[in-house]
């Protein structure tokens, strides 16, 4: 058999530098990032401005955690933004639960000892204050007028009462009538005049009362509040007695509304299986 001689392999040609791929100049991309990086860490969340504010407060709280604090009752009174005002401030629909967490941090920062409050904390708290400090103006207590008459107002449920109280012999008129004619039940009469009875002032003052709206019980309790406030103008020293008797404490309770599908506010219709 004939022998086949293998031809020697052809040597590879070496690539010249001119034929190689050009080097990439990464310096030309320094001013053009591969992707745009948001300025806010919470950019992709539903409420970035709120989260930014919360993170800022948490960072400040951690930074000044070592400063001494005072008791909550001794801290300066601050009127923080209400929820609707805060929503307008950040432009986001913040729920109440999240806003309470932010206010909790504000209250903690406000407890720092006033002499040691840093400028950063003071400036940060000022952002969340309501415009016009409502605690800056002191409420001037109402007093008896020049004719010796004290005027008190009271509300209960749908009833409104106005009492004019002057020193006298114990005469009481309700809408121009005797109190016995207006309130047939003894309980309602006792409730209406409880402020005078508990302080033993039944025979010392005359009361002219105007009451409207609501039912008999609501009107009697509205008179109780109005009469207690008017009596406190004559004798401010009776405030502790009137407060213990409950005659100057507002009762905000209302009847719960009826619900659709219910017999009453909470009662459901009777279910019968068969």
**What are the backbone dihedrals phi and psi of residue 180, each rounded to the nearest 5 degrees, phi first?**
-70, -35
> Is the pLDDT confidence value at 4 over 70?
no
pLDDT of residue 27: 61
**What's the rounded Cα separation, in Å, for the pair 36 and 160?**
63
> Is the pLDDT confidence value at 61 over 70?
yes
State the DSSP H helix or E strand holding residue 212, giving kind and residue range, or none if neither.
strand 205-212
> Is the pLDDT confidence value at 26 over 80?
no
Percentage with pLDDT > 90 across the chain: 72
pLDDT of residue 209: 97
For 220, the token pair is 């009697």
Q: What is the mean pLDDT of residues 54-76?
A: 92
Q: How does pLDDT run across 151-171, given as a tens digit for each residue?
A: 999 999 999 999 999 999 999
**What are the backbone dihedrals phi and psi of residue 151, each rounded to the nearest 5 degrees, phi first?**
-115, 120
pLDDT of residue 21: 60
The rounded mean pLDDT for the chain is 88
**223 class by beta-carbon count within 10 Å (0-12 exposed, 13-18 middle, 19+ buried):** buried
pLDDT of residue 12: 44
Q: How does pLDDT run across 8-19, given as a tens digit for each residue?
A: 554 544 445 555
Among candidates 104, 45, 95, 41, which has minimal Cα distance to 72?
A: 104
pLDDT of residue 1: 46
Q: What is the mean pLDDT of residues 28-35?
A: 62
Q: How does pLDDT run across 34-43, given as a tens digit for each residue?
A: 677 778 888 8
Instruction: Name the β-bridge partners of 107.
Output: none
pLDDT of residue 101: 94
**What's the rounded Cα separation, in Å, for the pair 31 and 123?**
35
Q: What is the mean pLDDT of residues 232-243?
A: 94
pLDDT of residue 32: 61
Percentage with pLDDT > 70 across the chain: 87
> Is the pLDDT confidence value at 84 over 90?
yes
Q: How confident is the model at residue 132 (pLDDT cuts 50, 70, 90)?
A: confident
Beta carbons of 225 and 218 less than 8 angstroms apart: no
pLDDT of residue 15: 46
pLDDT of residue 44: 85
**What are the backbone dihedrals phi and psi of residue 115, each rounded to the nearest 5 degrees, phi first?**
-70, -15
């Amino acid at each position: 058999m004939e022998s086949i001689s293998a031809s020697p392999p052809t040597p590879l040609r070496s690539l010249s530098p001119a034929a190689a791929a050009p080097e990439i100049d990464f310096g030309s991309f320094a001013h053009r990032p591969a992707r745009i990086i948001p300025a806010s860490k919470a950019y992709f969340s539903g409420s970035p401005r709120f989260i930014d504010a919360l993170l800022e407060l948490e960072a400040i709280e951690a930074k000044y955690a070592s400063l001494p604090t005072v008791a909550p009752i001794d801290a300066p009174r601050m009127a923080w933004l209400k929820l609707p005002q805060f929503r307008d401030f950040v432009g986001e629909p913040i729920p109440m639960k999240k806003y309470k967490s932010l206010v909790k941090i504000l209250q903690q920062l406000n407890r720092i000892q006033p002499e040691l409050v840093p400028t950063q904390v003071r400036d940060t708290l000022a952002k969340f204050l309501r415009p016009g400090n409502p605690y800056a103006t002191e409420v001037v207590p109402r007093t008896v007028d020049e004719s010796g008459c004290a005027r008190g107002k009271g509300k209960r449920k749908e009833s409104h009462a106005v009492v004019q109280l002057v020193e006298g012999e114990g005469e009481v008129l309700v809408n121009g009538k005797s109190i016995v004619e207006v309130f047939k039940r003894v309980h309602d009469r006792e409730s209406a005049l409880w402020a005078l009875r508990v302080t033993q002032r039944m025979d010392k003052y005359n009361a002219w009362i105007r009451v409207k709206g609501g039912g008999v019980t609501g009107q009697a309790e509205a008179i109780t509040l109005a009469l207690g406030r008017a009596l406190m103008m004559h004798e401010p020293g009776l405030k502790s007695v009137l407060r213990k008797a409950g005659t100057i404490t507002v009762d905000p309770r209302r009847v719960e509304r009826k619900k659709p599908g219910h017999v009453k506010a909470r009662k459901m219709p009777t279910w019968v299986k068969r």
